[in-house]
Copies of this chain bind each other. A is one copy, B any other.
């Protein structure tokens, strides 16, 4: 909304319980502060995502688990997602590892004939991520589009997660013959 130029050093300082000069003392400039914060946010996100536990079971079951864990993590760190996506820094770096895991799972599923052969694992993995990320970025739109549940936000998130995981799993699954 307000962007970098709209951010006020004094407001940041006040909100941090310190004074403006301290920010300049530590970060030298507004840009310096933001670069530091973004860098920290990126690595925070990256390590947390790398820590999503390895699931067990068939590739499709593990796909379920990874997707659920991914969504739950993003859900628990909305500021991080907002910060990084607002900064247009949502490049490969922070999400590379979970996407790679999804790609591997999908390819493995293809090898076992569980996943459609005409599917590009890279595309599907990126789309799964978009589905998870999309909720946080477009919540108002979603709430307005969905039934009266609009107000009950936590339940809506649950439903979104569930439906998104289902959509992906059904969407990649090889059709029964």
Q: Contact string, A7-37, partner B, CB cutoff 8 A, digits 1/0?
A: 0000000000000000000000000000000
**B2 touching A159, Cβ below 8 Å:** no
Number of copies: 2
Q: Is A63 part of the contact surface with B, judged by Cβ < 8 Å?
A: no
> A88's closest neighbor in chain B, by CB?
B1
* Residue from B2, B3, B137, B170 in contact with A172 in the complex, judged by beta carbons closer than 8 Å: B170
**A92 touching B5, Cβ below 8 Å:** no
Q: A5-B3, A91-B140, A134-B133 are in contact. Are A147 and B172 (CB under 8 A)?
A: no
Q: Spot the interface stretch: A47-55, A70-78, A123-131.
A: A123-131
Q: Is A64 part of the contact surface with B, judged by Cβ < 8 Å?
A: no
Size of interface on A: residues with Cβ below 8 Å to B? 54
Q: Is A151 part of the contact surface with B, judged by Cβ < 8 Å?
A: no
**A145 touching B3, Cβ below 8 Å:** no
- Shortest C-beta distance, A54 to chain B (Å), equals 20
**A119 touching B88, Cβ below 8 Å:** no
**B99 touching A145, Cβ below 8 Å:** yes
A134 and B128 alpha carbons, distance in the complex (Å): 10
Residues of chain A having any CB pair with chain B under 8 Å = 1-6, 85, 87-88, 90-92, 95-96, 99, 103, 116, 118-120, 122-127, 129-131, 133-135, 137-138, 140-142, 144-147, 159-160, 163-164, 166-168, 170-173, 175-176
